[in-house]
Amino acid sequence: MPHSSATGSLDSSQEGLCSERHAASLATAGPLAVTEAQRMAEFLNVLADPTRLRLISLLAAEEYCVCDLASNLGMTDSAISHQLRALRAARLVTYRKVGRQVFYQLHDHHVLELYQTVREHLNEES
Protein backbone atom coordinates (compact mmCIF):
# COMPACT_ATOMS: atom_id res chain seq x y z
CA MET A 1 0.00 0.00 0.00
CA PRO A 2 1.45 3.40 -0.92
CA HIS A 3 2.46 5.75 1.84
CA SER A 4 0.37 8.85 2.39
CA SER A 5 1.66 12.28 3.27
CA ALA A 6 1.23 13.83 6.70
CA THR A 7 -2.10 15.27 5.60
CA GLY A 8 -3.41 11.83 4.73
CA SER A 9 -3.60 12.43 0.97
CA LEU A 10 -1.72 10.25 -1.43
CA ASP A 11 1.05 11.88 -3.43
CA SER A 12 0.55 10.53 -6.97
CA SER A 13 4.27 10.83 -7.76
CA GLN A 14 5.06 8.39 -4.94
CA GLU A 15 2.31 5.88 -5.62
CA GLY A 16 3.79 2.40 -5.54
CA LEU A 17 7.14 3.62 -4.21
CA CYS A 18 8.48 2.65 -0.84
CA SER A 19 11.07 4.61 1.07
CA GLU A 20 11.85 1.76 3.48
CA ARG A 21 13.80 -1.44 2.94
CA HIS A 22 11.66 -4.24 4.39
CA ALA A 23 13.75 -7.31 3.63
CA ALA A 24 17.42 -7.10 4.46
CA SER A 25 18.12 -10.24 2.42
CA LEU A 26 17.09 -8.46 -0.79
CA ALA A 27 20.20 -6.33 -0.56
CA THR A 28 22.49 -9.35 -0.76
CA ALA A 29 20.53 -11.94 -2.73
CA GLY A 30 19.29 -9.95 -5.67
CA PRO A 31 17.19 -11.35 -8.51
CA LEU A 32 18.14 -14.26 -10.73
CA ALA A 33 20.44 -13.42 -13.59
CA VAL A 34 18.55 -13.13 -16.87
CA THR A 35 20.36 -16.11 -18.40
CA GLU A 36 19.63 -18.33 -15.40
CA ALA A 37 15.99 -17.25 -15.36
CA GLN A 38 15.75 -18.06 -19.08
CA ARG A 39 17.24 -21.56 -18.56
CA MET A 40 14.85 -22.23 -15.67
CA ALA A 41 11.86 -21.02 -17.71
CA GLU A 42 12.82 -23.32 -20.61
CA PHE A 43 13.18 -26.25 -18.19
CA LEU A 44 9.81 -25.56 -16.58
CA ASN A 45 8.25 -25.16 -20.02
CA VAL A 46 9.14 -28.80 -20.75
CA LEU A 47 7.13 -29.74 -17.67
CA ALA A 48 4.19 -27.61 -18.78
CA ASP A 49 2.76 -30.43 -20.88
CA PRO A 50 0.10 -32.80 -19.47
CA THR A 51 1.37 -35.81 -21.42
CA ARG A 52 4.92 -35.31 -20.18
CA LEU A 53 3.66 -34.98 -16.62
CA ARG A 54 1.70 -38.22 -17.01
CA LEU A 55 4.87 -39.91 -18.26
CA ILE A 56 6.77 -38.61 -15.25
CA SER A 57 4.01 -39.88 -12.96
CA LEU A 58 4.49 -43.40 -14.32
CA LEU A 59 8.28 -43.19 -14.23
CA ALA A 60 8.15 -41.96 -10.63
CA ALA A 61 7.04 -45.47 -9.67
CA GLU A 62 9.29 -47.60 -11.87
CA GLU A 63 11.18 -48.01 -15.12
CA TYR A 64 9.11 -48.58 -18.28
CA CYS A 65 9.71 -49.46 -21.90
CA VAL A 66 8.19 -47.25 -24.59
CA CYS A 67 5.49 -49.77 -25.51
CA ASP A 68 4.29 -50.07 -21.89
CA LEU A 69 4.23 -46.29 -21.50
CA ALA A 70 2.21 -46.01 -24.71
CA SER A 71 -0.20 -48.69 -23.55
CA ASN A 72 -0.68 -47.05 -20.14
CA LEU A 73 -1.42 -43.67 -21.70
CA GLY A 74 -3.41 -44.93 -24.67
CA MET A 75 -1.00 -43.40 -27.17
CA THR A 76 1.21 -44.65 -29.98
CA ASP A 77 4.84 -45.62 -29.45
CA SER A 78 5.80 -42.82 -31.83
CA ALA A 79 3.90 -40.17 -29.83
CA ILE A 80 5.47 -41.39 -26.58
CA SER A 81 8.96 -41.40 -28.12
CA HIS A 82 8.44 -37.80 -29.24
CA GLN A 83 7.55 -36.72 -25.69
CA LEU A 84 10.42 -38.72 -24.20
CA ARG A 85 12.89 -36.95 -26.50
CA ALA A 86 11.85 -33.62 -24.96
CA LEU A 87 12.18 -35.07 -21.46
CA ARG A 88 15.63 -36.48 -22.30
CA ALA A 89 16.79 -33.16 -23.74
CA ALA A 90 15.82 -31.47 -20.45
CA ARG A 91 17.65 -34.21 -18.50
CA LEU A 92 14.44 -35.31 -16.80
CA VAL A 93 14.67 -38.93 -17.93
CA THR A 94 17.42 -41.37 -18.89
CA TYR A 95 17.23 -44.61 -20.79
CA ARG A 96 18.93 -47.95 -21.29
CA LYS A 97 18.67 -50.32 -24.22
CA VAL A 98 18.08 -54.05 -23.98
CA GLY A 99 18.20 -55.41 -27.50
CA ARG A 100 15.68 -53.37 -29.46
CA GLN A 101 13.72 -52.26 -26.40
CA VAL A 102 14.41 -48.97 -24.67
CA PHE A 103 13.64 -48.58 -20.96
CA TYR A 104 13.16 -45.15 -19.40
CA GLN A 105 13.51 -43.95 -15.84
CA LEU A 106 13.68 -40.59 -14.10
CA HIS A 107 17.09 -38.98 -14.39
CA ASP A 108 17.71 -38.67 -10.66
CA HIS A 109 16.15 -38.02 -7.26
CA HIS A 110 15.82 -34.29 -8.01
CA VAL A 111 13.25 -34.98 -10.73
CA LEU A 112 11.29 -37.28 -8.42
CA GLU A 113 11.39 -34.71 -5.61
CA LEU A 114 10.28 -31.92 -7.95
CA TYR A 115 7.36 -34.01 -9.18
CA GLN A 116 6.36 -35.05 -5.65
CA THR A 117 6.66 -31.52 -4.26
CA VAL A 118 4.47 -29.98 -6.97
CA ARG A 119 1.88 -32.74 -6.61
CA GLU A 120 1.77 -32.38 -2.82
CA HIS A 121 1.52 -28.62 -3.09
CA LEU A 122 -1.43 -28.81 -5.47
CA ASN A 123 -3.17 -31.45 -3.34
CA GLU A 124 -2.95 -29.39 -0.14
CA GLU A 125 -6.28 -28.11 1.00
CA SER A 126 -6.40 -24.38 1.39
Q: Would 62 be classed as within a structural domain? A: yes
Q: Would 25 be classed as within a structural domain? A: no
The rounded Cα 100 to chain-centroid distance in angstroms is 32
Q: Would 83 be classed as within a structural domain? A: yes
Angle at 96 between CA 67 and CA 104, to 5 degrees: 45
Query: What are the pLDDT digits (tens) for 55-100?
Result: 999 999 999 999 999 999 999 999 999 999 999 999 999 999 999 9
Q: Would 10 be classed as within a structural domain? A: no
Q: Would 17 be classed as within a structural domain? A: no
Q: Would 61 be classed as within a structural domain? A: yes
Domain containing residue 110: CATH number:
1.10.10.10
Among 44, 49, 51, CA closest to 111 = 44
What's the pTM value of the predicted model, to 2 decimals? 0.75
Angle at 94 between CA 92 and CA 99, to 5 degrees: 155
What range does the domain containing 86 cover? 32-123
Q: Would 53 be classed as within a structural domain? A: yes
Average pLDDT of the segment spanning 3-28? 59
Give the total number of structural domains in the chain.
Answer: 1
Burial of 35 (0-12, 13-18, 19+ CB in 10 A): exposed
Q: What is the mean pLDDT of the chain?
A: 87
Q: Would 18 be classed as within a structural domain? A: no
What pLDDT sits at residue 4?
Answer: 47
